[in-house]
Amino acid sequence: MTELSPAAHVLPQLPKAPTGIDGLDEITEGGLPLGRPTLICGSAGCGKTLMGVEFLVRGILEFNEPGVLMAFEETGDELAANVASLGFDLKDLQERKLLRLDHVHVDRSEIEETGEYDLDGLFIRLGYAIDSIGAKRVVLDTIEALFSGFPNQGVLRSEIRRLFRWLKDKGVTTVITAERGDGTLTRQGLEEYVSDCVILLDNRVIDQITTRRLRIVKYRGSTHGTNEYPYLITEDGISVLPVTSLQLDHGVSDDIDSSGIMALDEMFGRRGFYHGSSVLITGTAGTAKTTLAAAFAEKTCLEGHRCLMFVFEESPQQLIRNMRSVGIDLGRFVAQGLLRIEASRPTLNGLERHLVTIHKLVKEFDPYAVVIDPITNLISVGNLSEVRSMLTRLIDFLKVSNITALFTALVNTGMGRSEMTEEGVSSLVDTWISVRDLEGIGERNRGLSILKSRGMAHSNQVREFIVTSRGIELLDVVLGPTGIVTGASRLTQQLAEHAEALAAQQEADRRDRELERRRRMLEANIANLRTEFESVEEELRQISSNEQSRQQTLASGHQRITAANPPKAGAPGSAPTTESGQ
């Protein structure tokens, strides 16, 4: 038996029609089921009609798929006026034969129910609209108005099933909006069962903050995100914010970004942190977290990159003024267009609105780095789990966009967890810098340490730092008898060390002088001995010379005497003389 190749086991995937709505295609893993009906249900004000209209408009503009909008509650002019503020020009699309907008007025008082009453007239009208422009997408808004003339439940259910079957047979991708029922997804409680995809929209108010959430109840033939996803209605349409659908498959960079403080960079193994990473600066109030963030923003702009700052505690003017006092001039970069400061109170918008605002500004400004100061204030507009979810999405978004993100957060020391953040995002970030108060005798000083930095070695020291008119200055570590000393104790220790060093230097100088004195004394003694030796040597040399002269004189005198008195013949010692002729 021949084995099938792996490719032979691959089954065809369900074809889908992309919606073009930001985030929705990601959750549905490609869009709505192609050629099948999708039900969008929810209470009043949750944006059902708008989602349907945007589905049509995005399909026309981005995917070249004409559409039909059949409305049962609002007229064409009313719909066009309502969505014009979102940038959707329905009249222009109608003139270009890309959109067919049809308003069907249903008045229950005008309907005479008979046993054979059906929706054939609607099918003819809708079929003509589809065929007239070659529509690929259809939106019916809303189905309750259509079926308000059917008091007979049996007829109603039959006609609903027939409508959905007719739409399937027509092969158009359909969005049907429906109102939320009491204990059911829809008023009739049937539409959700005959629809291939059901999207539930919810508009809830928690702690006086309005939040819209979306959930995909079912999706036949396809996997999909199953969580509740916040979504917003903005001037650009609907934005759905996935919570868990983002995959951890983004690229990374080996480039290094400077913190803006040279001494702090030296505490990292690669003299900074990786570009595209997330950096968290935590500390108690007054530990210069904002100043550290501003130093990073300044360095980013000095290198010619754009930086986007979100501040929740100060106005841009106040931030610029305050940073100028410590030698950080952010105003010039704002004027150059390299720095953009967005300031607002966290309570101005909900968490999702803040997230969408960040998304929008990041796409518009295209920054190299983003600074958010502080993220702690977001707790005022949501509980901890919601804030953690929002920050998780934000960190993922910035990482996918390869943008270096720097966050500051206030920590509460009253819980005995001076290094933990209330938001619980410290485990999500790549680099964690902690600034803290170092309390001494009658004073408080600032200390800085690196708790973690993924992918590189880093210093484990707690470095004291001061904020001067020239910015932040990290001080060298000073060790005392009981460990690291700071503040006045540092000054006292430095004075003591200076005094000890001075005393040691003075003692060394004294020893050098004593050595020099002894050297000179020894050299003098050596000179005296050398002089005495030379005198003795000269005297002995003179005596030797005199003795030699005397010996030479004696020898010369002997020679002269001998020469003056030669020896006589026959004298003793003379040689015998031979007589001649003998």
Question: For 479-489, what is each residue's pLDDT tens digit?
Answer: 555 555 555 56
Residue 385 has pLDDT above 80, yes or no: no
pLDDT interval class at 113 (50, 70, 90): very low
Q: Which of 13-17, 142-146, 171-175, 184-188 has the highest mean pLDDT?
A: 171-175
Give yes or no: residues 272 and 235 share one domain. no
Q: Which of 125-129, 331-335, 471-475, 572-576 has the highest mean pLDDT?
A: 331-335
d(CA 322, CA 286): 13
CB 258 within 8 A of CB 410: no
* Residue-averaged pLDDT of the chain: 81
From 12-26, 146-160, 353-367, 386-400, the region with the lowest mean pLDDT: 146-160
d(CA 210, CA 520): 95
Q: What is the largest CA-CA distance in the chain?
A: 213
Q: Which of 490, 523, 553 finishes a domain?
A: 490
Give yes or no: residues 270 and 216 share one domain. no
From 76-80, 129-133, 350-354, the region with the lowest mean pLDDT: 350-354
pLDDT interval class at 450 (50, 70, 90): very high
| Residue 305: both structure tokens together | 């990159």
User: CATH number of the domain that 291 lies in?
Assistant: 3.40.50.300
d(CA 222, CA 32): 10
Number of domains in the chain: 2
Q: Which of 475, 490, 505 finishes a domain?
A: 490
> What's the pLDDT score for residue 457?
92
Backbone angles phi, psi at 378, to 5 degrees: -70, -15
Confirm whether 540 is domain-assigned. no
Residue 301 has pLDDT above 80, yes or no: yes
Give yes or no: residues 186 and 314 share one domain. no
> What's the pLDDT score for residue 1?
44
Q: Which domain holds residue 307?
A: 256-490
Give yes or no: residues 283 and 203 share one domain. no
Residue linked to tokens 């295209």: 366
Give yes or no: residues 287 and 421 share one domain. yes
Give yes or no: residues 153 and 203 share one domain. yes
pLDDT interval class at 278 (50, 70, 90): very high
| Residue 578: both structure tokens together | 């031979």
pLDDT interval class at 400 (50, 70, 90): confident
Confirm whether 475 is domain-assigned. yes
Give yes or no: residues 207 and 260 share one domain. no
From 361-365, 436-440, 569-573, the region with the lowest mean pLDDT: 569-573
Confirm whether 537 is domain-assigned. no
Task: Select the more confidently predicted residue: 549 or 412.
Answer: 549
Residue 549 has pLDDT above 50, yes or no: yes
Give yes or no: residues 297 and 358 share one domain. yes
| Residue 63: both structure tokens together | 């995917």
Confirm whether 527 is domain-assigned. no
Residue 274 has pLDDT above 90, yes or no: yes
Give the mean model confidence (pLDDT) for residues 399-413.
87
Residue 429 has pLDDT above 80, yes or no: yes
Confirm whether 202 is domain-assigned. yes
Residue/partner pairs of 361-368 with CB below 8 Å, 24 or more apart = 361/308, 362/308, 362/397, 362/398, 362/401, 362/403, 365/306, 365/308, 365/340, 366/306, 367/305, 367/306, 367/307, 367/308, 367/340, 367/403, 368/300, 368/305, 368/306, 368/307, 368/403, 368/404
pLDDT interval class at 34 (50, 70, 90): very high
Residue 245 has pLDDT above 50, yes or no: no
Give the mean model confidence (pLDDT) for residues 291-300.
95
Give the mean model confidence (pLDDT) for residues 225-240.
80
d(CA 192, CA 186): 7
Q: Which of 490, 508, 533 finishes a domain?
A: 490
pTM, rounded to two decimals: 0.65
d(CA 370, CA 349): 20
The fraction of the chain above a pLDDT of 70, given in percent, is: 80
What are the pLDDT digits (tens) for 454-474? 999 999 888 888 889 888 988
pLDDT interval class at 137 (50, 70, 90): very high
Residue 415 has pLDDT above 70, yes or no: no
Q: Which residues on neighbouring strands pair with residue 450, listed in sequence order?
A: 433
d(CA 501, CA 524): 34
